[in-house]
Amino acid sequence: MKKIISLLMAMLLVTSLLLAGCQQQETKMKNIRLIEVTHSIFYAPQYVALEKGFFEEHGLSVELTNGGGADKCMAALVSGEADVAFMGPEASVYVYLQGREDHAVNFAQLTQRDGSFIVGREKDDTFTVEKLKGHTILGGRKGGMPLMALEYVLKQSGLTPGVDVNVRTDIQFDMMAGAFQSGEADYTTLFEPLASTFELQGNGYVLESVGALAGYIPYTCYSSLGSYIEKNPDTIQGFANALYEGMVWVDEHSAQEVAEVIHPQFADSEVDFLAKIVQSYKNINAWNPDLVLGEDGYNKLIDIMKTAGEIEEGAPYDKIQTSEFAVKAKENYKASDKPRLSF
Protein backbone atom coordinates (compact mmCIF):
# COMPACT_ATOMS: atom_id res chain seq x y z
CA MET A 1 0.00 0.00 0.00
CA LYS A 2 2.86 2.34 0.89
CA LYS A 3 4.45 1.66 -2.51
CA ILE A 4 1.20 2.58 -4.27
CA ILE A 5 0.89 5.80 -2.29
CA SER A 6 4.52 6.67 -3.02
CA LEU A 7 3.98 5.98 -6.71
CA LEU A 8 0.88 8.17 -6.80
CA MET A 9 2.69 10.98 -5.02
CA ALA A 10 5.56 10.73 -7.48
CA MET A 11 3.15 10.90 -10.40
CA LEU A 12 1.42 13.92 -8.90
CA LEU A 13 4.78 15.62 -8.41
CA VAL A 14 5.80 15.02 -12.04
CA THR A 15 2.41 16.23 -13.29
CA SER A 16 2.60 19.40 -11.20
CA LEU A 17 6.12 20.10 -12.45
CA LEU A 18 5.00 19.66 -16.05
CA LEU A 19 2.03 21.97 -15.53
CA ALA A 20 4.25 24.54 -13.85
CA GLY A 21 6.62 24.34 -16.79
CA CYS A 22 3.79 24.85 -19.27
CA GLN A 23 2.43 27.79 -17.30
CA GLN A 24 5.90 29.31 -17.11
CA GLN A 25 6.26 28.92 -20.88
CA GLU A 26 2.88 30.54 -21.46
CA THR A 27 3.77 33.52 -19.27
CA LYS A 28 6.82 34.13 -21.43
CA MET A 29 4.63 34.61 -24.52
CA LYS A 30 4.04 38.27 -25.36
CA ASN A 31 0.63 39.05 -26.83
CA ILE A 32 0.65 41.28 -29.92
CA ARG A 33 -2.53 42.87 -31.23
CA LEU A 34 -1.93 43.14 -34.97
CA ILE A 35 -4.44 44.91 -37.22
CA GLU A 36 -4.09 44.50 -40.99
CA VAL A 37 -5.42 46.80 -43.68
CA THR A 38 -7.21 43.91 -45.40
CA HIS A 39 -7.01 40.11 -45.45
CA SER A 40 -5.31 39.26 -48.74
CA ILE A 41 -3.03 36.64 -50.26
CA PHE A 42 -0.89 39.68 -51.07
CA TYR A 43 0.43 39.29 -47.53
CA ALA A 44 1.43 35.63 -47.85
CA PRO A 45 4.76 35.96 -45.95
CA GLN A 46 2.85 37.19 -42.90
CA TYR A 47 0.45 34.26 -42.99
CA VAL A 48 3.31 31.81 -43.48
CA ALA A 49 4.96 33.24 -40.37
CA LEU A 50 1.69 32.79 -38.49
CA GLU A 51 0.91 29.29 -39.72
CA LYS A 52 4.47 27.97 -39.41
CA GLY A 53 4.72 29.20 -35.82
CA PHE A 54 7.59 31.62 -36.45
CA PHE A 55 6.08 34.25 -34.14
CA GLU A 56 5.71 31.72 -31.34
CA GLU A 57 9.35 30.72 -31.79
CA HIS A 58 10.21 34.32 -30.93
CA GLY A 59 7.92 34.38 -27.89
CA LEU A 60 5.02 36.18 -29.53
CA SER A 61 1.33 35.33 -29.59
CA VAL A 62 -0.25 37.32 -32.43
CA GLU A 63 -3.91 38.31 -32.35
CA LEU A 64 -4.82 39.25 -35.93
CA THR A 65 -7.79 41.40 -36.94
CA ASN A 66 -8.88 42.87 -40.27
CA GLY A 67 -9.13 46.66 -40.08
CA GLY A 68 -10.74 47.16 -43.49
CA GLY A 69 -8.66 50.20 -44.49
CA ALA A 70 -5.53 52.10 -43.48
CA ASP A 71 -7.55 54.87 -41.82
CA LYS A 72 -9.18 52.36 -39.48
CA CYS A 73 -5.86 50.66 -38.77
CA MET A 74 -4.22 53.95 -37.84
CA ALA A 75 -7.19 54.88 -35.64
CA ALA A 76 -6.79 51.59 -33.78
CA LEU A 77 -3.06 52.18 -33.36
CA VAL A 78 -3.23 55.72 -31.98
CA SER A 79 -6.15 54.83 -29.68
CA GLY A 80 -4.21 51.93 -28.15
CA GLU A 81 -6.49 49.23 -29.52
CA ALA A 82 -3.63 47.74 -31.54
CA ASP A 83 0.08 47.29 -30.86
CA VAL A 84 1.13 46.91 -34.49
CA ALA A 85 -0.68 48.17 -37.58
CA PHE A 86 -0.06 46.77 -41.05
CA MET A 87 -1.01 49.36 -43.67
CA GLY A 88 0.33 51.78 -46.24
CA PRO A 89 3.14 54.03 -44.92
CA GLU A 90 1.27 57.06 -46.21
CA ALA A 91 -0.87 56.83 -43.07
CA SER A 92 2.22 57.45 -40.94
CA VAL A 93 3.06 60.52 -43.02
CA TYR A 94 -0.41 61.98 -42.49
CA VAL A 95 -0.26 61.47 -38.72
CA TYR A 96 3.21 62.99 -38.46
CA LEU A 97 2.19 66.04 -40.49
CA GLN A 98 -0.81 66.52 -38.19
CA GLY A 99 1.70 67.23 -35.43
CA ARG A 100 1.13 64.17 -33.27
CA GLU A 101 4.12 63.83 -30.95
CA ASP A 102 3.82 60.08 -30.39
CA HIS A 103 3.39 59.18 -34.05
CA ALA A 104 3.54 55.89 -35.95
CA VAL A 105 6.98 54.63 -36.97
CA ASN A 106 7.40 52.01 -39.71
CA PHE A 107 9.81 49.22 -38.77
CA ALA A 108 9.31 46.68 -41.57
CA GLN A 109 8.14 46.92 -45.19
CA LEU A 110 6.49 43.74 -46.48
CA THR A 111 5.35 44.67 -50.00
CA GLN A 112 7.01 46.67 -52.76
CA ARG A 113 4.27 46.67 -55.38
CA ASP A 114 0.61 47.59 -55.44
CA GLY A 115 -1.30 44.37 -54.82
CA SER A 116 -4.57 45.26 -56.54
CA PHE A 117 -5.90 44.30 -59.96
CA ILE A 118 -8.14 46.13 -62.41
CA VAL A 119 -11.36 44.17 -62.80
CA GLY A 120 -13.83 44.78 -65.63
CA ARG A 121 -17.25 43.51 -66.57
CA GLU A 122 -16.15 42.09 -69.91
CA LYS A 123 -13.30 39.78 -70.82
CA ASP A 124 -10.60 41.68 -72.71
CA ASP A 125 -7.39 39.90 -73.66
CA THR A 126 -5.98 43.07 -75.23
CA PHE A 127 -6.76 45.39 -72.32
CA THR A 128 -4.63 48.50 -71.83
CA VAL A 129 -5.04 51.28 -69.30
CA GLU A 130 -5.89 53.66 -72.14
CA LYS A 131 -9.17 51.76 -72.55
CA LEU A 132 -10.34 53.24 -69.24
CA LYS A 133 -10.79 56.60 -70.96
CA GLY A 134 -14.41 57.72 -70.83
CA HIS A 135 -15.31 55.13 -68.19
CA THR A 136 -15.84 55.01 -64.43
CA ILE A 137 -13.65 53.01 -62.05
CA LEU A 138 -13.96 52.49 -58.30
CA GLY A 139 -10.63 53.65 -56.89
CA GLY A 140 -10.97 53.53 -53.12
CA ARG A 141 -10.66 56.06 -50.34
CA LYS A 142 -9.17 59.47 -51.12
CA GLY A 143 -5.65 59.68 -49.74
CA GLY A 144 -5.23 55.91 -49.56
CA MET A 145 -2.37 54.10 -51.25
CA PRO A 146 -4.59 52.02 -53.61
CA LEU A 147 -6.17 55.16 -55.06
CA MET A 148 -2.90 57.04 -55.35
CA ALA A 149 -1.20 54.09 -57.06
CA LEU A 150 -4.09 53.79 -59.53
CA GLU A 151 -4.00 57.51 -60.31
CA TYR A 152 -0.23 57.27 -60.74
CA VAL A 153 -0.74 54.52 -63.34
CA LEU A 154 -3.41 56.56 -65.12
CA LYS A 155 -1.12 59.58 -65.35
CA GLN A 156 1.76 57.43 -66.57
CA SER A 157 -0.56 56.32 -69.38
CA GLY A 158 -1.45 59.89 -70.32
CA LEU A 159 -4.87 59.91 -68.64
CA THR A 160 -6.04 62.61 -66.23
CA PRO A 161 -8.16 61.36 -63.32
CA GLY A 162 -11.44 63.24 -63.14
CA VAL A 163 -11.12 64.35 -66.77
CA ASP A 164 -10.37 61.34 -68.93
CA VAL A 165 -11.44 58.78 -66.34
CA ASN A 166 -14.08 59.12 -63.64
CA VAL A 167 -12.33 57.72 -60.57
CA ARG A 168 -14.87 57.29 -57.80
CA THR A 169 -13.67 57.75 -54.23
CA ASP A 170 -17.03 57.72 -52.47
CA ILE A 171 -17.12 54.00 -51.67
CA GLN A 172 -15.22 52.59 -48.70
CA PHE A 173 -12.36 50.20 -49.41
CA ASP A 174 -14.09 47.17 -47.89
CA MET A 175 -17.35 47.91 -49.74
CA MET A 176 -15.96 48.19 -53.27
CA ALA A 177 -16.46 44.54 -54.24
CA GLY A 178 -20.11 44.56 -53.24
CA ALA A 179 -20.71 47.89 -54.94
CA PHE A 180 -19.19 46.68 -58.20
CA GLN A 181 -21.16 43.44 -58.05
CA SER A 182 -24.37 45.43 -57.58
CA GLY A 183 -23.71 47.42 -60.76
CA GLU A 184 -21.66 50.42 -59.65
CA ALA A 185 -19.06 51.64 -62.20
CA ASP A 186 -17.55 49.99 -65.28
CA TYR A 187 -14.34 48.87 -63.58
CA THR A 188 -12.97 48.45 -60.08
CA THR A 189 -9.71 47.59 -58.38
CA LEU A 190 -9.69 44.55 -56.08
CA PHE A 191 -7.14 42.64 -54.06
CA GLU A 192 -6.77 38.89 -54.04
CA PRO A 193 -8.48 36.58 -53.47
CA LEU A 194 -11.50 38.81 -54.25
CA ALA A 195 -10.38 39.64 -57.79
CA SER A 196 -9.96 36.02 -58.90
CA THR A 197 -13.05 34.95 -56.96
CA PHE A 198 -15.05 37.49 -58.93
CA GLU A 199 -13.78 35.98 -62.15
CA LEU A 200 -14.44 32.45 -60.94
CA GLN A 201 -18.03 33.36 -60.08
CA GLY A 202 -18.60 35.21 -63.36
CA ASN A 203 -18.95 38.62 -61.69
CA GLY A 204 -16.05 40.20 -63.54
CA TYR A 205 -12.71 39.64 -65.23
CA VAL A 206 -9.19 40.34 -63.99
CA LEU A 207 -7.62 42.55 -66.65
CA GLU A 208 -4.36 43.96 -65.33
CA SER A 209 -2.08 44.20 -62.29
CA VAL A 210 -1.78 47.73 -60.94
CA GLY A 211 1.46 46.69 -59.26
CA ALA A 212 3.04 45.52 -62.50
CA LEU A 213 2.20 48.87 -64.10
CA ALA A 214 3.18 51.14 -61.20
CA GLY A 215 6.55 49.55 -60.46
CA TYR A 216 8.31 49.80 -57.13
CA ILE A 217 6.30 51.48 -54.36
CA PRO A 218 6.73 50.95 -50.60
CA TYR A 219 3.16 49.76 -50.36
CA THR A 220 2.46 48.15 -47.00
CA CYS A 221 4.49 48.37 -43.81
CA TYR A 222 4.30 47.42 -40.16
CA SER A 223 4.26 50.32 -37.74
CA SER A 224 3.89 50.96 -34.04
CA LEU A 225 3.78 54.13 -32.00
CA GLY A 226 7.22 55.46 -31.21
CA SER A 227 6.54 55.06 -27.49
CA TYR A 228 5.65 51.37 -27.94
CA ILE A 229 8.83 50.68 -29.92
CA GLU A 230 10.93 52.45 -27.29
CA LYS A 231 9.38 50.43 -24.45
CA ASN A 232 9.28 47.09 -26.32
CA PRO A 233 12.35 46.81 -28.57
CA ASP A 234 12.70 43.05 -27.98
CA THR A 235 9.08 42.51 -28.97
CA ILE A 236 9.50 44.50 -32.18
CA GLN A 237 12.72 42.65 -32.95
CA GLY A 238 11.05 39.28 -32.44
CA PHE A 239 8.21 40.40 -34.71
CA ALA A 240 10.66 41.46 -37.43
CA ASN A 241 12.60 38.19 -37.06
CA ALA A 242 9.44 36.15 -37.60
CA LEU A 243 8.45 38.22 -40.63
CA TYR A 244 11.86 37.81 -42.20
CA GLU A 245 11.68 34.05 -41.72
CA GLY A 246 8.26 34.08 -43.38
CA MET A 247 9.70 36.06 -46.28
CA VAL A 248 12.56 33.60 -46.68
CA TRP A 249 10.20 30.64 -46.56
CA VAL A 250 7.98 32.08 -49.30
CA ASP A 251 10.98 32.82 -51.51
CA GLU A 252 12.43 29.33 -51.10
CA HIS A 253 9.21 27.41 -51.71
CA SER A 254 6.86 27.01 -54.65
CA ALA A 255 3.54 28.80 -54.96
CA GLN A 256 1.81 25.47 -54.37
CA GLU A 257 3.70 24.90 -51.11
CA VAL A 258 2.97 28.45 -49.95
CA ALA A 259 -0.72 27.97 -50.78
CA GLU A 260 -0.87 24.77 -48.73
CA VAL A 261 0.57 26.55 -45.69
CA ILE A 262 -1.67 29.65 -45.84
CA HIS A 263 -4.81 27.72 -46.75
CA PRO A 264 -6.22 27.91 -43.17
CA GLN A 265 -6.27 31.70 -43.58
CA PHE A 266 -8.42 31.32 -46.73
CA ALA A 267 -10.32 28.15 -45.96
CA ASP A 268 -13.14 28.95 -48.41
CA SER A 269 -10.72 28.75 -51.36
CA GLU A 270 -9.12 25.72 -52.97
CA VAL A 271 -5.36 25.29 -52.59
CA ASP A 272 -4.80 25.29 -56.37
CA PHE A 273 -6.75 28.53 -56.63
CA LEU A 274 -4.57 30.11 -53.94
CA ALA A 275 -1.40 28.81 -55.61
CA LYS A 276 -2.30 30.56 -58.86
CA ILE A 277 -2.65 33.86 -57.01
CA VAL A 278 0.57 33.39 -55.03
CA GLN A 279 2.38 32.80 -58.30
CA SER A 280 0.94 35.99 -59.77
CA TYR A 281 2.41 37.93 -56.85
CA LYS A 282 5.74 36.14 -57.20
CA ASN A 283 5.77 37.11 -60.89
CA ILE A 284 5.65 40.83 -60.10
CA ASN A 285 8.15 40.62 -57.20
CA ALA A 286 5.47 41.82 -54.83
CA TRP A 287 7.42 41.26 -51.61
CA ASN A 288 10.30 43.30 -50.20
CA PRO A 289 13.03 40.75 -49.44
CA ASP A 290 14.96 42.65 -46.76
CA LEU A 291 11.97 44.36 -45.06
CA VAL A 292 13.78 47.73 -45.11
CA LEU A 293 11.85 50.84 -46.12
CA GLY A 294 14.62 52.50 -48.14
CA GLU A 295 15.00 56.23 -48.60
CA ASP A 296 14.68 56.13 -52.40
CA GLY A 297 11.41 54.22 -52.14
CA TYR A 298 10.16 56.57 -49.46
CA ASN A 299 10.95 59.58 -51.64
CA LYS A 300 8.96 58.02 -54.49
CA LEU A 301 6.03 57.56 -52.09
CA ILE A 302 6.22 61.24 -51.13
CA ASP A 303 6.32 62.26 -54.80
CA ILE A 304 3.20 60.18 -55.50
CA MET A 305 1.42 61.75 -52.53
CA LYS A 306 2.37 65.24 -53.69
CA THR A 307 1.27 64.51 -57.26
CA ALA A 308 -2.05 63.27 -55.91
CA GLY A 309 -2.46 66.60 -54.12
CA GLU A 310 -2.61 64.98 -50.68
CA ILE A 311 0.40 66.77 -49.18
CA GLU A 312 2.56 69.78 -49.98
CA GLU A 313 5.67 68.63 -48.13
CA GLY A 314 6.79 65.25 -46.90
CA ALA A 315 7.81 64.11 -43.44
CA PRO A 316 11.50 63.49 -42.63
CA TYR A 317 12.56 59.99 -43.62
CA ASP A 318 14.22 59.31 -40.26
CA LYS A 319 11.02 60.23 -38.39
CA ILE A 320 8.75 57.91 -40.37
CA GLN A 321 10.81 54.74 -40.28
CA THR A 322 13.53 52.82 -38.50
CA SER A 323 15.53 50.17 -40.34
CA GLU A 324 17.18 48.88 -37.17
CA PHE A 325 14.89 45.91 -36.64
CA ALA A 326 14.73 44.79 -40.28
CA VAL A 327 18.52 44.89 -40.62
CA LYS A 328 18.94 42.98 -37.36
CA ALA A 329 16.36 40.40 -38.45
CA LYS A 330 18.46 39.54 -41.48
CA GLU A 331 21.59 39.33 -39.34
CA ASN A 332 19.83 37.09 -36.83
CA TYR A 333 18.68 34.80 -39.60
CA LYS A 334 22.15 34.51 -41.06
CA ALA A 335 23.54 33.71 -37.61
CA SER A 336 20.95 30.95 -37.08
CA ASP A 337 21.14 27.37 -38.33
CA LYS A 338 18.18 27.91 -40.68
CA PRO A 339 18.48 27.56 -44.49
CA ARG A 340 20.44 30.30 -46.22
CA LEU A 341 19.00 32.66 -48.78
CA SER A 342 20.52 34.80 -51.50
CA PHE A 343 19.04 38.13 -50.38
Per residue in 124-158, pLDDT (tens digit) is 999 999 999 999 999 998 988 999 999 999 999 99
Model confidence over 263-291: pLDDT tens digits?
Answer: 999 999 999 999 999 999 999 999 999 99
**Range 29-113+217-335 classified under CATH 3.50.50.60:** no
Stated pTM of the model: 0.86
Beta bridge partners of 220: 111
CA proximity to 296, closest of 112, 23, 121, 140: 112
Q: Is 126 exposed, middle or buried (0-12, 13-18, 19+ CB in 10 A)?
A: exposed
Model confidence over 57-112: pLDDT tens digits?
Answer: 999 999 999 999 899 999 999 999 999 999 999 999 999 999 999 999 999 999 99
Model confidence over 289-313: pLDDT tens digits?
Answer: 999 999 999 999 999 999 999 999 9
Strands 136-138 and 166-168: parallel
Give 137's contacts (C-beta < 8 A, 6+ positions apart): 118, 150, 165, 166, 167, 168, 185, 186, 187, 188, 189
Kindly list the domain boundaries of the chain, sorted by start residue: 29-113+217-335, 116-214
Helix (H) or strand (E) holding 22, with range, is helix 2-28
Cα separation, 304 vs 315, in Å, equals 13
Tally Cβ neighbours within 10 Å of residue 41.
28
Give 274's contacts (C-beta < 8 A, 6+ positions apart): 41, 193, 259, 262, 263, 266
Q: Please tell me if the domain spanning 29-113+217-335 has the same topology as the one spanning 116-214.
A: yes
Cα separation, 185 vs 283, in Å, equals 29
**Is 16 in a helix, a strand, or coil?**
helix
Average pLDDT in the chain: 91
CA proximity to 83, closest of 41, 30, 44: 30
**Interior angle at CA 223, CA 219 and CA 228, nearest 5:** 175
Cα separation, 187 vs 179, in Å, equals 11
Q: What pLDDT is stored for residue 174 in this prediction? A: 79
Q: Is 330 exposed, middle or buried (0-12, 13-18, 19+ CB in 10 A)?
A: buried
What CATH code is assigned to 116-214?
Answer: 3.40.190.10
Q: What is the mean pLDDT of residues 22-33?
A: 70
Cα separation, 35 vs 257, in Å, equals 26
Amino acid at residue number 38: T
